[in-house]
Structure 1
Amino acid sequence: MDINQLFRLDNKTAFITGASSGIGKHCAILLAQAGAKVALASRRVDQLQSVVDEITGLGGQAKAFELDVTNNKSVVRCFDELTHWDMPTIIINNAGMSVNRKLLDQTEEDWDRVIDTNLKGSWLVATEAARRLAATNTPGNIVNVASILGERIIGGVAPYVISKAGVIQSTKVMALELARQEIRVNALLPGYVITDLNRDFLLSEAGQKILTRIPTRRFNNLEDLNGPLLLLASDASKAMTGTTLVVDSGHLISGL
C-alpha cells in the first residue's frame, strides 16, 4: 500500500452517532477530510445541520439522519434510510452521556438513561450494522468510543463507568463473533479531552487537581485523537480487531 494512502478513506462511507458536538463532530469532519462520505446521526437533526454545512463547505459529502440509539425501531429506521443513501462500512459508535451524582443519589432513571444510551445504544447500532453488512457479504469496521473509565474508576458517575466497561467487553465479544464475516470491531478509550462542554471545568481548581494525576500533566485536545481515529477507521488497522486503543496522555498508568 502507498504510504501516502495508508489513512485515506476515499470511496468509503462512514456513519457517526452523537455527531452534533464534541468528539462526534470532530470525528465526522476528520473522516470527511480523509475522503469519506459521512452520515451524521443524532436525536435532533437540526443540531447536525451546521456540521453538515461545515463539511460540505470544505468540499466533503455529508448528510444528517435522525436517530435515537436507545430505541431499536429508530435504529432500524435510520439504517433503512442509510441503505437508500449509501450503506456505511465504517461505523463510529460515539453517542453517549453521563449523570454526575453520588452513588446513593443516583436514581433508576439516571441508570436507565446512561446505560441505555452508552451500552445498549452502541450494541443496537453495531449489531444492526453488522446484520446488514453480513447479509451482503460486505466487510465492515466498527469503532466503539469507550473511555479510560472502562478500565479505572472515579466516584460520582457510577452508571457511566459501568457502561463504558460494558462497551469494552461488548467490543471484544462482537470482534470474536463477527471475525468470519470480515467485520472488525475495536474500541477507542479517550482520557480527558478538552471540549466546549467541559473546558471551564478542566480549567477550574477541581480540573487542575485531576491534571496533577496525569503523568504528562496535560489534557488531550480533540486533535490528539486524529491519528488514533484514522488508524481505527482506515485499512491501516486491517489486522486489528478486539483491540482497545487508549489515548489519555498517560492517565491510565498513573500510580495508585
Structure 2
Amino acid sequence: MVSGIVAGRLALVTGAGSGIGRAACQVLSREGATVIAADRNYDSAVETIKTHTALASGSNDGDHSAVELDVSDSSAVRNLLQTTLDQYKAPPTIIVNSAGITRDNWLLKLSEEDYDSVLSVNLKGTFLVMQTFAKAMTETATPGSIINISSIVGKYGNMGQTNYAGSKAGVVAMTQSAAKELGRFNIRVNAILPGFIDTPIIKTVPDKVVQGMLKLVPLGRLGLPSEVAELITFLSSNKSSFITGAAIDVTGGF
C-alpha cells in the first residue's frame, strides 16, 4: 500500500520538464501521488517521469505519465483534460501551475511580442489550466488543491523584467480571486512566490549578478527546487486543509 501525505491522489504538474516543476513531480510521487508531468518539451517531461519521479516513488514509472502541453493553447488544455479522464477515469485533484518563461529586456527596449509571449504563458496559461481542471472537479464534486507558482518579482519588481513581474503579480491576484470563488466547492487555491532558486533560469544569469543577488538573501544562498516542492506538496495535502487564497514567499528572507 502506498503511503504519504498525498497517497492515492492524481496530480497534474505543468512545467514539469525542469526546475520547480520537476522537483514537484519528485516530491509528490514520493508522497504517494500519481503524477502527470506536462511540459512544452515532451522529452523533458518523459525524463522527469522515467528518471526522477520513478526513483522518488521507489518504483518504476507505474501509472505516472508524461504529456506535451502548451499551456497558452486552450484547445491543448481541453484535450489534456479529456485524455486524463479517458486514462484515469477522474480529473486530477492536485494542480500545480509551474509552467513559465522569461523574455527579459529593459522597459524601453521590450518588444510587444516578448511582452505578449510572457503574459500568454505565465498568466493566461495559468488561467486556462486552472479554469479547465477546476471545472472538471466541480462537475465531479471532487475536492482539490491548486497551487500556482508566482515569483517574488511579482511583489517587488525587478529591473529588466516588467513583463515577467507583471505576469507573476497577476498570478497572485488571480489566485486570490479564484480561492474566493472555488471555496464553496472545497477547492483550495494558493500561490507560492519563490525567490532566487537554483533552476535553469538562474543558469542564464551572469555569476556576478547572482553574487549580487545573494547579498540580499539573509540565508546567503540560492534556494533548491526541492525546497519549493516540499511546500507545494504540503499545500496539496490535507495538512493544509484551512489554507486558501494565500501567497507564500519562499525566498530565504529576501
TM-score (norm 2): 0.92
Aligned to 2:65: 63
Q: Decide whether aligned partners of structure 1 residues 133 and 200 sit closer, same or farther in structure 2, where only a CA change above 3 A counts.
A: closer
**1:222 equivalenced with 2:220 (yes/no):** no
Runs of 5+ unmatched residues, structure 2: none
Residue 142 of structure 1: how far off its partner (Å): 0.3
Aligned to 1:179: 183
Residue 125 of structure 1: how far off its partner (Å): 0.2
Q: Decide whether aligned partners of structure 1 residues 117 and 89 sit closer, same or farther in structure 2, where only a CA change above 3 A counts.
A: same
Runs of 5+ unmatched residues, structure 1: 252-256
Residue 46 of structure 1: how far off its partner (Å): 2.3
**1:205 equivalenced with 2:202 (yes/no):** no
Q: How many pairs were matched up?
A: 245
Residue 197 of structure 1: how far off its partner (Å): 4.3
Is the Cα–Cα contact under 8 Å of residues 12 and 89 in structure 1 kept in the other structure?
yes
Aligned to 1:120: 124
**CA root-mean-square deviation:** 1.5
Residue 205 of structure 1: how far off its partner (Å): 1.4
Q: Which amino acid aligns with 1:108?
A: E
Q: Which amino acid aligns with 2:157?
A: I
SS of 1:185's partner is: strand
Aligned to 2:239: 236
C-alpha distance in 1 between matches for 2:204 and 2:166: 26
C-alpha distance in 1 between matches for 2:165 and 2:199: 20
Percent of matched pairs sharing the same residue: 34
TM-score (norm 1): 0.91
Pairing 1:161-172 to 2, within 5 Å after superposition: 161-172=165-176
C-alpha distance in 1 between matches for 2:47 and 2:94: 22
C-alpha distance in 2 between matches for 1:219 and 1:21: 16
C-alpha distance in 2 between matches for 1:113 and 1:196: 19
Deviations 1:91-116 (Å, cap 9, x if unpaired)?
Answer: 00000011111111111100110000
Is the Cα–Cα contact under 8 Å of residues 228 and 245 in structure 1 kept in the other structure?
no
C-alpha distance in 2 between matches for 1:19 and 1:247: 19
Residue 227 of structure 1: how far off its partner (Å): 3.1
Moved over 4 A (4+): none
Match of residue 19, structure 2, among 7, 22, 34: 22
Is the Cα–Cα contact under 8 Å of residues 143 and 187 in structure 1 kept in the other structure?
yes
Residue 224 of structure 1: how far off its partner (Å): 2.1
C-alpha distance in 2 between matches for 1:137 and 1:243: 23
Q: Which amino acid aligns with 2:54?
A: T
Residue 196 of structure 1: how far off its partner (Å): 4.1
Is the Cα–Cα contact under 8 Å of residues 20 and 47 in structure 1 kept in the other structure?
yes
Residue 226 of structure 1: how far off its partner (Å): 3.9
C-alpha distance in 2 between matches for 1:196 and 1:72: 26
Q: Decide whether aligned partners of structure 1 residues 142 and 159 sit closer, same or farther in structure 2, where only a CA change above 3 A counts.
A: same
SS of 1:117's partner is: helix
Residue 238 of structure 1: how far off its partner (Å): 0.7
